[in-house]
Amino acid sequence: MNAEQKKVVMVVPFLNEQENIPVLYDRVCKAMEGQPEQFEILFVNDGSSDGSPDWIRNKAKEDPRVRMITFSRNFGHQLAITAGMDYADGDAVVIMDADLQDPPEVIPQLLEKWREGNEVVYAVRAARVGETWLKKFLAATFYKIFHAMAKVNVPLNTGDFRLVDRKVVESLREVRELHRFVRGLTCWVGFRQCAVHYERAARLAGETKYPVWKSMNLAWDAITSFSGTPLRWVTGIGLLFSLCGLIFMLHIVIQTMLHPETVAQGWASLAALTLIMGGVQLICIGLLGQYVSRIFEETKKRPLYLIREKIGR
């Protein structure tokens, strides 16, 4: 190994991926053969309870390029990526899932763009194989909404699979917000960004750890941590309803003057209006509460994650 040789660290967050990790290791090694950079795989164990940590522990004994940090419990995928970037000390970091949906064979392409001077090389998926139509539909809708609301321009159809230069990693380490949407943050930091296209594979083995409700949570976190637009919408809805109420009131005044006998029968519409107004107010307060609870959680300044064990080096 010469002193100028650069190092790339693959950050791989995982939760119970014992069938996939050995294959991932082999395919990463194969993909990196002949590349001028040396590499390391930093696994982030996000509270796994299967055999995957044992396999990594054994592998680390024979291959010093394998490292692992183990969380004290499950903290979630986004925080696992964050921890990986905190502990990776390479010249570049590649974030990839452990289920081989992000094919290691794309890494040389990412590296090539990086060598050309790009500081974030994100992988854009051309196809989504093996995912339900519901997930595809929700993902497409989310990206549209996020695009419209957030000031940052997150490229469509990107996941967390990307290469980030050390400079970007160092910038991201300074961002310590709890509700994180990492792919939004890597755009927010700026730097020179470029894309590489690839076909997203189906998960090699095991079940998805991201059921639809978890994806929805991530989407909500993404929107609320990047944009106050929902609050503006709510103000707009309030104005709209006030206007409707005003028009309705005018209508009643005129009605009273023209046909006084019909006005007394309006109790049903009154009940409906009260219900609607009550509902709208509760929705607005609930939305406000979401932002307030975000403030509450951030002011506690708890650590983002806790580490139980470190393996390698």
Please report how close the Cβ of residue 148 comes to ligand UDP at its closest, in angstroms: 23
Q: Going residue by residue from 103 to 142, which x/- string records binding to ligand UDP, judged by CB under 6 A?
A: ----------------------------------------
Q: Going residue by residue from 161 to 200, which x/- string records binding to Mg ion, judged by CB under 5 A?
A: ----------------------------------------
Partner from Mg ion, ligand UDP, none contacting 160, C-beta within 5 to 8 A by type:
none
What are the CA-CA distances from residue 145 to residues 142, 243, 305 (Å)?
A: 5, 27, 29
Indicate the length of the chain as a whole number.
313
Q: How many residues bind Mg ion (CB under 5 A)?
A: 4
Residue 87's Cβ-count burial label (10 Å; 0-12, 13-18, 19+) is middle
101 binds Mg ion per the rule CB under 5 A: yes
Q: Which is nearer to ligand UDP, 210 or 241 (CB)?
A: 210
Give the whole-angstrom CA distance, residue 1 versus residue 278: 69
Q: Going residue by residue from 237 to 276, which x/- string records binding to ligand UDP, judged by CB under 6 A?
A: ----------------------------------------
Among 99, 119, 165, 221, binds ligand UDP (CB under 6 A): 99
7-46 binders of ligand UDP (CB under 6 A): 13-15, 17, 46
What are the CA-CA distances from residue 291 to residues 226, 231, 232, 243, 288 (Å)?
A: 11, 9, 13, 26, 5
Partner from Mg ion, ligand UDP, none contacting 225, C-beta within 5 to 8 A by type:
none
80 binds ligand UDP per the rule CB under 6 A: yes
Among 18, 70, 101, 186, binds ligand UDP (CB under 6 A): 101
Q: Which is nearer to ligand UDP, 101 or 224 (CB)?
A: 101
Among 76, 90, 104, 312, binds ligand UDP (CB under 6 A): 76
Q: Which is nearer to ligand UDP, 130 or 279 (CB)?
A: 130
Please report how close the Cβ of residue 41 comes to ligand UDP at its closest, in angstroms: 13
Closest C-alpha to 113, from 164, 161, 73, 182: 164
Q: Which is nearer to ligand UDP, 118 or 185 (CB)?
A: 185
158 binds ligand UDP per the rule CB under 6 A: no
Q: How many residues bind ligand UDP (CB under 6 A)?
A: 17
Partner from Mg ion, ligand UDP, none contacting 150, C-beta within 5 to 8 A by type:
none
Q: Nearest 5°: phi and psi at 267? A: -65, -35
Residues of the shown chain interacting with ligand UDP in the complex, contacts defined by CB under 6 A:
13-15, 17, 46, 74, 76-77, 80, 97-99, 101, 203, 208-210
Residues of the shown chain interacting with Mg ion in the complex, contacts defined by CB under 5 A:
97, 99, 101, 203
